[in-house]
Chain A
Amino acid sequence: MTAALHLAYWQTTTIKVLVVMGVIPLGALVLAYVFLLKMMSHMQSRLGPMEAGPHGVLQLLADAGKFLQKEDVFPERADRAVFALAPVVVLMSAFLLYVVIPAGPRLTVSNLDTGVFFALAVSSLSVLGVLMAGWSSANKYSLIGALRAAGQLIAYELPLVLGVVGVVIQAGTMSLQGIVQAQAHGALLGFKTLGEPYILPQALGFVLFIVGAQAELTQTPFDMPLAETELVAGYMVEYTGFRFLFFFMAEFGTAFAFAAIGATLFLGGWYVPGVHGTAADVLGPFVLGAKIMLVSFFIFWFRFTYPRFREDQLQAVAWKYLIPLALVNILVTGLLKVVV
């Protein structure tokens, strides 16, 4: 885009910022509507919201309107500055994730060479926001929730990162754009036309990534930090109004971003066989969107089906099973890379 139109730096930056600002709420809205409101409802033999717009498509906008009208409540003993800042930090981490996700051969905010590294790093920023929220609320439920979240996010960062390492080894680059290109030009069992989506050679890595992402998103079966039946809503129990809306948007925005990263790393991103050049720039976002929905479907399907692990059990799952598996995956991938 930048190359074709020769825009000034400030212009491209503004466009990128606006696009990201638009994509996050839109992505969050789409995910929340399609999966939280509709798929979950149908999985539970009901229809979900049906009143606002056809099939309730405007329900989330109505909800957002309601949240915006609500009083901005601070708990009496809250640390006001930290309390106010926490949702912003969480939302910011979701925003930063989008910077490196390519939506087409040239459609990317910033094609960092260390894209994977960057994405996984900024996704951990949300832990900071969660801890801030939990501590500053002066609520015991929040505090327990935040501490659980911190422990869990750190524990699951590892399998997530290690699961991705296999892809990085196979692609030979950490740039997300590079990984998409590697999948596009890869040859699966000698068939060059279809490319090589890494979900096939890196199936174990994909499983690790999905599990890790599920935990990072604090979704069932890893939603101990929220655990609405015991901690009510964990670290966000004291938040109302637009601050809660921030958390809500961050939750689904991050889910969207993780699904996008998953789609990019394992399903070939924007690439669809037979489409190249400018056509890929036009079709890319839609292809990526479809793949995101596919990955999200799995993430949310697990969320609506499973009960949750206890905090110590989910730590055990991470340290005893996922991390060793990830290490094995890296070892095998590395060996094959060297040998083949």
Chain B
Amino acid sequence: MAELPGLIKGLGVTLRTMLRPAVTVQYPHEKETPPTRSRGVIALKEENCTVCMLCARSCPDWCIYIEGHKDKAPPRREGGKPRTIQLLDRFDIDYGLCMYCGICVEVCPFDALFWSPEYEYSEVSIAELLHDKERLGDWMKTVPEPLALEAGAEVKKGAKN
């Protein structure tokens, strides 16, 4: 069987595509939902943070700034000794520097940092990309539940997301 010339076949491809609906999404009006695991923005659960500085140290870009102070807290049990705790004064992430690698979220031993797939936080001024701990805390609302794993995955006991 003689093949159609390539010039004609090409025209067929474009014509077929034209008659199919477009695949694009009109962004500000409709939005695609990013996958649950998307690394959009880092959320901070302040009460879990113990100012251990692990995230700030393992950040490859040095974009996490933490300050804290020590304080006395009432004992956990009746008649116990008062505990020394560390309280967070400042927790800033500079998204102008952040590479979105997720190492900070991973190293956090106390589940204080989470990824949220939220992505709409562009700013007019680069300075406003520095999110302070209140703003990072607000992102907690958008943190999704971790996904179930694919068949065959090892189920870890007490694993964090």
Contact = CB atoms under 8 A, between A and B. Distances in A.
**Do A and B share a complex?**
yes
Interface of A: 39, 41-47, 50, 301-302, 304-306
A41 B22 contact: yes
A306 B7 contact: yes
Contacts of B11: 301-302, 305
Interface string B18-36: 1010111010000000000
B-side interface mostly: helix
A45 B20 contact: yes
Given A47-B26, A50-B26, A301 B14 contact: yes
A39 B18 contact: yes
Contacts of B15: 43, 301
Contact of B14 (A46, A47, A50, A305): A305
A228 to B, nearest CB: 19
A43 B10 CA distance: 11
Contacts of B23: 45-46
Contact of A304 (B14, B20, B24): B14
Contact of B10 (A39, A44, A46, A306): A306
A44 B13 CA distance: 10
B17 interface: yes
Nearest to A304: B14
Nearest to B16: A43
A50 B24 CA distance: 11
A41 B10 CA distance: 16
Contact of B18 (A42, A50, A302): A42
A39 B20 CA distance: 12
Contacts of A39: 18
A301 B20 CA distance: 16
A138 to B, nearest CB: 37
Tier of interface size on chain B: 10 to 19
Interface in B68-93: none
Contact of B17 (A44, A302, A306): A44
A263 B14 CA distance: 24
Q: 4 closest A-B pairs (Cβ-Cβ)?
A: A43-B14, A46-B24, A42-B18, A43-B18
Given A42-B17, A45-B17, A47-B24, 6 more contacts: A44-B17, A45-B24, A46-B23, A47-B26, A302-B11, A305-B13
Interface in B2-61: 7, 10-11, 13-15, 17-18, 20, 22-24, 26
A45 B7 CA distance: 20
Contacts of B17: 42-45
A220 to B, nearest CB: 12
B19 to A, nearest CB: 8
A113 B13 CA distance: 43
28 contacts: A39-B18, A41-B22, A42-B17, A42-B18, A42-B22, A43-B14, A43-B15, A43-B17, A44-B17, A45-B17, A45-B22, A45-B23, A45-B24, A46-B23, A46-B24, A47-B22, A47-B24, A47-B26, A50-B26, A301-B11, A301-B14, A301-B15, A302-B11, A304-B14, A305-B11, A305-B14, A306-B7, A306-B10
Contacts of A304: 14
A301 B18 CA distance: 10
A44 B15 CA distance: 10
B18 A46 contact: no
